[in-house]
Structure 1
């Protein structure tokens, strides 16, 4: 008896060599992996109405991660820090707005732009003398206000993977389409955990083409023409937004546009409201919720 085993495959009387079988299996495995990536939908809620309902029910979108204490006990806002997002989540909030900037070497980080000419990112005390973008290494090596941990887009993605019921509202301070393109490319499975803010109607189509289902129209960068009731109404009719957000004076200063928004049936949000009585007054006017730095549920109006 031969001590060798014939590992070839026989179909009928035809012999197929083992190498060919292995190659075929490898090809099938690659096809299967591709199908998983392409065909399985991203995590998160899957319908526009589901997202709208969540926004209404949660009522509060935590602004830039919300209030958080630094190492000395000082309460800070606009930090977009790891400590802030953790504090936001641990207090029961599930919708968090974060600011995003692009570093000089093309990486996306969580930071708010700074009003001081010599500073690039708010609270990041790395001065290059020009106010131009920091490198990724420079930014990630710094601390917000000297104490809080900076975050990259990758850090945010990791946090979502660990907390899949968290939703991030984007506020991109430089290149909105560019940053959203990177999110769609690098984290396609997380697209339904991102609610993308757009600033002008002409951004909407491109964001939807990138595969993002949930788009909020924020008005704070809109032109005077875009803020007219006629243009607002037309855009609302032509798009599938999950909400619209505006600054506190908008309902009074643009009453016709505000009436159009109320008639649209979309969730409406106002920013940034930290006083409980003010929260109540806006909600009493038919606004669904607020962007707020307040993370403590007891200090939010329900």
Structure 2
């Protein structure tokens, strides 16, 4: 017959082992799926930041406004009409309606020509092998994605019915750029265009074009090739542009120097959606002297 004390000791040791193993298993990574590690809110995509945005940057704080004549940050420019359901570059009626409803009032819109010369809202025709569509093809291709394509005339009517709205033009097509102002005036009036339209220009020569003499203009440098901050400063200070727009890659290197020379000129920044839409990045560029952003 076994010693009763031996039996009791074995039983107690068994209980200790079971309890210890249970505690270890509860804390073990093997059981991590049982631990609630859910974030309090769904995380957004991490911005593609690099070393230039360091811990020295102030916490992200960006206050938007809709006024071109304000130097301080940040003019809110809805790029390509603004995003719609997370999708950039649509230039669609749905994007315009959505972003106007959010309180945005300044809309940068891309213009492209159809094969018959009609001017429509589109970034370019790269997805069609650079072949210009008919107006019907343009509308159909957008409607297949649940979007409404617009002509320049339809955009003008939309703007006229939206108090406070402003248009910033953009186009990759020189033939459209040359005809844009006259088409806008024909669809509305010279007064409407002067009050609600800002034409983006792409060269020093275009700033001084006679047909743009009385028109509000922004110089955007993305088509100007190799250009230095000194060259930009000289052009800007001797012209009647109301603002300057630069790519974010250029801004990281040269915005601070530009701001020292151009103390009273608004400087706006554009870039890829994955970067320019980040509040942290906008805060960083604001600290360098940006006055606003083209963003989704």
Q: TM-score, normalised by structure 1?
A: 0.67
Deviates more, 1:154-163 or 1:257-266: 257-266
Give the match for residue 239 of structure 1: 239
C-alpha distance in 1, partners of 2:166/2:72?
A: 14
Contact persistence 1:102–1:179 (CA under 8 A): no
SS of residue matched to 2:286: helix
Query: Are 2:118 and 1:107 aligned?
Result: yes
Contact persistence 1:169–1:196 (CA under 8 A): yes
C-alpha distance in 1, partners of 2:143/2:198?
A: 25
Contact persistence 1:169–1:194 (CA under 8 A): yes
C-alpha distance in 2, partners of 1:159/1:51?
A: 20
Structure 2: segments with no counterpart, 5+ residues: 1-65
Q: CA deviation at 1:230?
A: 3.8
Q: Structure 1 residues 137 and 278 mapped into 2: Cα distance closer, same or farther (>3 Å)?
A: same
C-alpha distance in 2, partners of 1:189/1:77?
A: 31
C-alpha distance in 1, partners of 2:180/2:232?
A: 25
Give the match for residue 32 of structure 1: none
SS of residue matched to 1:112: coil
Q: Structure 1 residues 76 and 250 mapped into 2: Cα distance closer, same or farther (>3 Å)?
A: same
Structure 1: segments with no counterpart, 5+ residues: 1-49, 70-74, 120-129, 294-302
Let me know the Cα RMSD of the aligned residues.
2.3
Give the match for residue 66 of structure 1: 82
C-alpha distance in 1, partners of 2:78/2:161?
A: 19
Q: Structure 1 residues 212 and 240 mapped into 2: Cα distance closer, same or farther (>3 Å)?
A: same
C-alpha distance in 2, partners of 1:213/1:142?
A: 34
Give the match for residue 268 of structure 2: 269
SS of residue matched to 2:277: coil
C-alpha distance in 2, partners of 1:287/1:263?
A: 13
Contact persistence 2:125–2:131 (CA under 8 A): no
Contact persistence 1:98–1:110 (CA under 8 A): yes
C-alpha distance in 1, partners of 2:269/2:89?
A: 17
Q: CA deviation at 1:55?
A: 7.1
SS of residue matched to 2:183: helix
Q: Structure 1 residues 238 and 217 mapped into 2: Cα distance closer, same or farther (>3 Å)?
A: same
C-alpha distance in 1, partners of 2:83/2:161?
A: 22
SS of residue matched to 2:69: helix
Q: Structure 1 residues 144 and 279 mapped into 2: Cα distance closer, same or farther (>3 Å)?
A: farther
Between 1 and 2, higher relative CO (CA 8 Å, sep ≥ 6) is seen in 2
The alignment covers a number of residue pairs equal to: 222
Give the match for residue 281 of structure 1: 284
Give the match for residue 78 of structure 1: 89
Query: Are 2:170 and 1:171 aligned?
Result: yes
Give the match for residue 200 of structure 1: 203
Q: CA deviation at 1:184?
A: 3.1
Q: CA deviation at 1:142?
A: 3.3
C-alpha distance in 2, partners of 1:212/1:83?
A: 32
Contact persistence 2:112–2:171 (CA under 8 A): yes
Highest CA radius of gyration, 1 or 2?
2
Q: CA deviation at 1:216?
A: 0.7
Give the match for residue 162 of structure 1: 161
Give the match for residue 250 of structure 1: 250
Give the match for residue 220 of structure 1: 222
